[in-house]
A and B are shown apart, each in its own frame.
Chain A
Amino acid sequence: MTDGTRRTEPVRPVQKKNSQRKGSPGKEQPGEDIIAAGDKSAGQQGQGGGAGGSLKPSEPAGEVGSGHQRSHVSAGRAARRKRVRENTAVKEKFAEQLAANQNIDAIIKDRVEMFYDLVENRKMMEKVFRVPKNKDTVFRSLTIGTNPPVKALLVFIDGITNSQVQNMAILQPLMLLSGIFDRCDFECQMFDTTRAGYKDLFDRVKEALLPNNQVSTAHNFSRVVEDVLNGNTALLIDGYNQALLLETKGWPYRSVSTPQVEAVIRGPQEAFTEQIRVNTSLVRKIIHRPSLLTEFIKVGNSAPMQCAVMYLDDLVNPDLVQEVKRRLESVRGDFLLETGLVEEMIEDYPQHMVPQVLSTERPDRVAASLLEGQVAVLIDGNPFVMVVPCTFFTLMQAPEDAYIRWPIGSFVRVIRYVGLFLALLLPANYVAIIAYHQEFIPTDLLLAITGAREKVPFPSIVEVLVMEFSFELIREAGIRIPGTVGTTLGIVGALILGQAAVAANIVSPILIIVVAVTALGSFAIPNYSFSLTIRALRFFYIILAALAGLHGIMVGFFIHVGVMANLKSFGVPLLAPVAPVTRKGSDYLLRGPQWRQETRPDYLDPLQVRRQSEVSRSWRRRKG
């Protein structure tokens, strides 16, 4: 949003007055303000440390420049409209607070380095965390019981830390057990601190005094603040311009449970949960390979989300990983807490209806995709994992296809494609045939339809639209309805869609069948967002059918498939391996037997193409 604003400033000198007025407290010119904040903090520091010097006002400025070159008039207009909407009155009234916020932002953004003095550090931290206004942040001062004792400070946020760990693994060793080496010094040389090679007290605390599984060192406030916000505890020691970050994460989260959306009868019954670490471990639990990598990227501006990219380093095409990471890293979104939001930010064609990212809640599906050479993107706080690239055929597959006997798997897939066809085209075909092509259907059926329609006052198209809309309504209401009154919906829905509508001569009974079959078809589509797409698209087809009969449907279908053939998901055509034709395995449209799944999909260009040897059932003497 601010992109546009920034970009146009240099273009339109007319706006200058306006922007200046706002600019002093506002975000309009971050460069200048940051410099001011940096100066201030440098002055406070006294000991320097070059913190102020390391500001990078040029970074956003560079962006401004590049944006400016790409902008044109219409964008400028859009930006002006947005600028007018910003509330200058509020800005003026709270100018002081805005300035304060600006300063604090600058501390984090500029990676201001820490001070040697504990009191200074504490002040800085209190400023960042708005203590004492903020009651969540806890500053626990303590004395480390070494010889001589040292003052220290623990900073953490109450509620997202594990107090048990803090007590046992931080406070207890620091306060009670820290002196043991000092006492030993006289008796046994083994514990000689100098022989152990500690540089200083800080190093010793880190190496010897904190029985905590993950400890790291930070030199600037932004790192400390980030870790504290993630549930870690920062230990600041007097006299050192660095902090120890101790792993104490512990907030409540849902435990691993059965999949809600992608339920299967056969196969693993566990689904991802809201904790990213649990999710990565669920995948890692399936793939025991050192080449399974997890990389973390922060996505989002206002509340950065932890985002993990998982892939098999020895299989996946490095270009693909590169591309996924490039897109994630370059996202400048506001707040991306759900895969859907990130998906929109990183997919190739967000303005199209077809999903170009497969989101799944099943670790086994993610593992299988990774083993094919795909890349998984996990977002913290989200039980859905994105798998890229995705093709039309993966959208139509369910994990269970592979778990049941393969001919049945193929059969189930055929059923599913029939379902797709029905969900997309059945109501449209009904309208087209009823209204234009009555010679298409057997005489008996025609007369039955005609007889059933005798008392219906509306044209078929109205009838179909009414029923389809009311069905969509029931489905939407079914999702939103509170659980306690959920049972009433079934009754209401059954009445509307069932006997009553027919008895009242609003719709013909045959239409009820059409709507019901359409609904069943759309439920058979395994991917939820694809199913939504089909639900929406069928209305276009109904209208096309009403306008031009089967001719209209055919024209629409032609365009639809044409558009789909044109889409790409992370460089892979959506209709691969059918269009464009590439080498096909036996598992895209139908499900081939497991022993024939010899190669990974060609369109992924994996580093290892062959996934199992020619003879995969080596207990047989020949072939297979």
Chain B
Amino acid sequence: MYNAHLSKVLRKALMVVMTGALLLPLAGCYDYTEPDERAWVMAIGVDKGRQNVLTVTSVVAVPKAIAGGGGQSGSEGGSGQGGFFTITFDVPTLLSTLELINTVVDRRVSLSHTKWFVFSRELAEEGIGAYVAPLVRFQQFRRSSQLLICEGRAEDFLTKGVPQLEDNVGKYYELMQQGWRYTEFIPFDSFHQFYYKSENPGVNPVAPLAARGAKETIYTDNSFKPKGYYQAGRIPRKGGSEIEIMGGAVFKKDRMVGTLNGDQVGVQKIFFGAMKRTLLNVPDPYHPDKYIIVDVLPRQKPRVDINITGGRPKITANVKLEGQILSIQSGENYERPDRLYIVEDAVQELIFEDINDTIAKSKQLDADFLGFGLHAQKLFPTWPQWSAYNWEEKYKDADITVNVDYKVRRTGLVHEMVQLR
């Protein structure tokens, strides 16, 4: 009885196993590849072509240089040079590189770990929609990567962009991009957000602006310039690695229309709630040439109220910030409660100026990169109505009022400091 039962069960089990064995291959997973049979592209740079439509540069990581070969002690690693090589092809379309590259590189190339897509400014000003759209569709490509616009040729930018701290060039790219979390100069948009903004009529995307560091002197005088006055390619510096990211490239649809400097990017980030913290050098109201240094954090998400009367939008933005005093160069006792307002007013005035300046820039570029349209679209019950309203046209004539409210929360570690003698 048991034997019969068992054999019946076994036969059943065998049938299940065999059916499973037959079904599994149908699911079609034949792409078993070892990681050491693949080449990982960390970044792709796109330029206007010289011998074909495009010049595409791929940064391929060299794992052995990054992680050290097997067998040896792992700590040997690379030399802080990023462990990569670049390879440039002149191709008709971006993805042709993926195939062409295997004429040179022995390992099958994969885009699934690509961090950066760098377009040269030249190309961006002509419009990059045709190159970006296929990437959105292609399964190897991940939307969390970053789209950058670089001054000059992307080819040089990537080839020269050797990290100095990192063994892994991919990590370098990732960390560079993550700078948006602690500086105000780097736009936060990932590729996904960039793409979605470029498709939305209510907002225009801003891509990070990158460049190779300037070799020659840029500014001739040593007058006071706010730190956010700079942008990539125009940062007075010496040393460090070759490339820098600062400021943004404003797009309308898929075409780049202008650049933003560091402060303007900061303002853009305030309106998207992406500004985490920034330091501000505020001119001392009572001591010319002296500065009060405060840090600025968002207190609330900025409140944007939009009123559309007579076809003309009326925008009121309330920006609420807070922060602490980091340094008072003049030594004035502004930290006394009855005098704090002096600092607060000065900060408010400065930020107000920054915002106004940025809004002026957006009107000048005729691009609503501050995202007021996203607030306006709430007023429309249906999408066709919103599309028909044609925000892009109306934004030019928008009447924008900005209120800034800054509160000093802490005054730092000293109180009513005695003047240095």
Q: Is the CB of B35 within 8 A of A551?
A: no
Q: Is the CB of B31 within 8 A of A74?
A: no
The distance in angstroms between the C-alpha atoms of A503 and B36, with both chains bound, is 18
Chain A contact residues, majority secondary structure: helix
The distance from the CB of A444 to the nearest CB of chain B, in whole angstroms, is: 6
Q: Is the CB of B71 within 8 A of A502?
A: yes
Q: Is the CB of A447 within 8 A of B63?
A: yes
Quick check: which of B1-9, B184-192, B290-298 contacts chain A, the rest being far away?
B1-9
Which residues of B lie under 8 Å from residue A504 when comparing CB positions? 71
Q: Is the CB of B29 within 8 A of A551?
A: yes
Q: Is the CB of B29 within 8 A of A453?
A: no
CB contact between B1 and one of A67, A435, A451, A509 (< 8 Å): that residue? A67
Q: Is the CB of B29 within 8 A of A547?
A: yes
The distance in angstroms between the C-alpha atoms of A552 and B29, with both chains bound, is 9
The distance in angstroms between the C-alpha atoms of A75 and B4, with both chains bound, is 6
Q: Is the CB of B32 within 8 A of A446?
A: no
Which residues of B lie under 8 Å from residue A71 when comparing CB positions? 1, 4
Quick check: which of A21-29, A455-463, A601-609 contacts chain B, the rest being far away?
A455-463
Q: Is the CB of B74 within 8 A of A450?
A: no
Q: Is the CB of A546 within 8 A of B32?
A: yes
The distance in angstroms between the C-alpha atoms of A215 and B66, with both chains bound, is 84
Knowing A443-B168, A447-B63, A552-B29, the reply to whether A75 touches B3 (Cβ < 8 A) is: yes
Question: Within 8 Å of chain B (Cβ to Cβ): is A12?
Answer: no
CB contact between A508 and one of B40, B70, B168 (< 8 Å): that residue? B70
Q: Is the CB of B27 within 8 A of A548?
A: yes
Knowing A439-B112, A453-B34, A455-B71, the reply to whether A75 touches B170 (Cβ < 8 A) is: no
Which residues of B lie under 8 Å from residue A78 when comparing CB positions? 3-4, 7
> Which of A351, A438, A450, A454 is packed against the most chain B CB atoms within 10 Å?
A450
Q: Is the CB of B174 within 8 A of A439?
A: no
Which residues of B lie under 8 Å from residue A547 when comparing CB positions? 24-25, 29
The distance in angstroms between the C-alpha atoms of A503 and B35, with both chains bound, is 20
Q: Is the CB of B63 within 8 A of A454?
A: yes
Q: Name the interface residues of A332-370: CB closer than 8 Å to any CB of B.
A: 351
Q: Is the CB of A454 within 8 A of B64?
A: yes
Question: Within 8 Å of chain B (Cβ to Cβ): is A4?
Answer: yes
Q: Is the CB of A454 within 8 A of B70?
A: yes
Question: Within 8 Å of chain A (Cβ to Cβ): is B56?
Answer: no
Question: Within 8 Å of chain A (Cβ to Cβ): is B68?
Answer: yes
Which residues of B lie under 8 Å from residue A443 when comparing CB positions? 40, 42, 61, 113, 115, 168, 170-171, 174
Q: Is the CB of B7 within 8 A of A505?
A: no
Q: Name the interface residues of B162-195: CB closer than 8 Å to any CB of A.
A: 168, 170-171, 174
Q: Is the CB of B70 within 8 A of A448?
A: no
0/1 interface trace, chain B 147-170, chain A, CB 8 Å (1 if under): 000000000000000000000101
Which residues of B lie under 8 Å from residue A505 when comparing CB positions? 70-71
Q: Is the CB of B168 within 8 A of A444?
A: yes
Knowing A447-B170, A455-B70, A509-B70, the reply to whether A72 touches B36 (Cβ < 8 A) is: no
The closest CB in chain A to the CB of B139 belongs to A439
Q: Is the CB of A552 within 8 A of B70?
A: no
> Which of A67, A438, A456, A551 is packed against the most chain B CB atoms within 10 Å?
A438
0/1 interface trace, chain A 480-511, chain B, CB 8 Å (1 if under): 00000000000000000000001111001100
Question: Within 8 Å of chain A (Cβ to Cβ): is B67?
Answer: yes
Knowing A443-B40, A447-B63, the reply to whether A453 touches B70 (Cβ < 8 A) is: yes
Question: Within 8 Å of chain A (Cβ to Cβ): is B110?
Answer: yes
The distance in angstroms between the C-alpha atoms of A166 and B28, with both chains bound, is 78
Q: Name the interface residues of A268-319: CB closer than 8 Å to any CB of B.
A: none
> Which of A75, A446, A546, A551 is packed against the most chain B CB atoms within 10 Å?
A446
The distance in angstroms between the C-alpha atoms of A500 and B20, with both chains bound, is 39
The closest CB in chain B to the CB of A451 belongs to B67
Q: Name the interface residues of B47-106: CB closer than 8 Å to any CB of A.
A: 61, 63-71, 74, 83
Q: Is the CB of A456 within 8 A of B40?
A: no
> Which of B6, B42, B65, B112 is packed against the most chain A CB atoms within 10 Å?
B112
CB contact between B32 and one of A4, A436, A449, A453 (< 8 Å): that residue? A436
Q: Is the CB of A439 within 8 A of B32?
A: no
Knowing A75-B4, A434-B34, A548-B29, the reply to whether A451 touches B68 (Cβ < 8 A) is: yes
Question: Within 8 Å of chain A (Cβ to Cβ): is B312?
Answer: no
The distance from the CB of A94 to the nearest CB of chain B, in whole angstroms, is: 29
Which residues of B lie under 8 Å from residue A448 when comparing CB positions? 63, 66-67, 74
CB contact between B35 and one of A4, A438, A546, A552 (< 8 Å): that residue? A438
Question: Within 8 Å of chain B (Cβ to Cβ): is A70?
Answer: yes
Which residues of A lie under 8 Å from residue B71 when comparing CB positions? 455, 502-505
The distance from the CB of A36 to the nearest CB of chain B, in whole angstroms, is: 29
The distance in angstroms between the C-alpha atoms of A447 and B173, with both chains bound, is 15
The distance from the CB of A368 to the nearest CB of chain B, in whole angstroms, is: 34
The distance in angstroms between the C-alpha atoms of A559 and B17, with both chains bound, is 11
Knowing A435-B33, A453-B34, A551-B29, the reply to whether A447 touches B9 (Cβ < 8 A) is: no
Question: Within 8 Å of chain A (Cβ to Cβ): is B38?
Answer: yes
The distance in angstroms between the C-alpha atoms of A75 and B68, with both chains bound, is 63
Q: Is the CB of A444 within 8 A of B24?
A: no
Q: Is the CB of B170 within 8 A of A444?
A: yes
Q: Is the CB of A438 within 8 A of B9?
A: no
Question: Within 8 Å of chain A (Cβ to Cβ): is B142?
Answer: yes
Q: Name the interface residues of A7-31: CB closer than 8 Å to any CB of B.
A: none
Which residues of A lie under 8 Å from residue B35 when comparing CB positions? 434, 438, 446, 449-450, 453
The closest CB in chain B to the CB of A351 belongs to B9
Question: Within 8 Å of chain B (Cβ to Cβ): is A452?
Answer: yes
The distance in angstroms between the C-alpha atoms of A509 and B68, with both chains bound, is 12
Q: Is the CB of B61 within 8 A of A447?
A: yes
Knowing A502-B70, A548-B24, A551-B27, the reply to whether A454 touches B36 (Cβ < 8 A) is: yes
The distance from the CB of B140 to the nearest CB of chain A, in whole angstroms, is: 8
> Which of B27, B63, B66 is packed against the most chain A CB atoms within 10 Å?
B63
Which residues of A lie under 8 Å from residue B65 when comparing CB positions? 451
Question: Within 8 Å of chain B (Cβ to Cβ): is A549?
Answer: yes
The distance in angstroms between the C-alpha atoms of A438 and B140, with both chains bound, is 11
The closest CB in chain B to the CB of A435 belongs to B32
| Closest CB pairs A-B (n = 6) | A451-B67, A439-B112, A450-B63, A451-B63, A443-B170, A455-B70
Q: List 22 A-B contacts (CB under 8 A).
A: A3-B1, A4-B3, A71-B4, A74-B4, A75-B1, A351-B9, A434-B35, A435-B34, A436-B33, A438-B38, A438-B113, A439-B113, A439-B142, A443-B61, A443-B170, A443-B171, A447-B168, A452-B70, A455-B71, A504-B71, A505-B70, A505-B71
Apart from the given pairs A447-B61, A549-B29, 6 other A-B contacts in the complex at a CB distance below 8 Å:
A439-B140, A443-B113, A448-B74, A452-B68, A551-B29, A552-B24
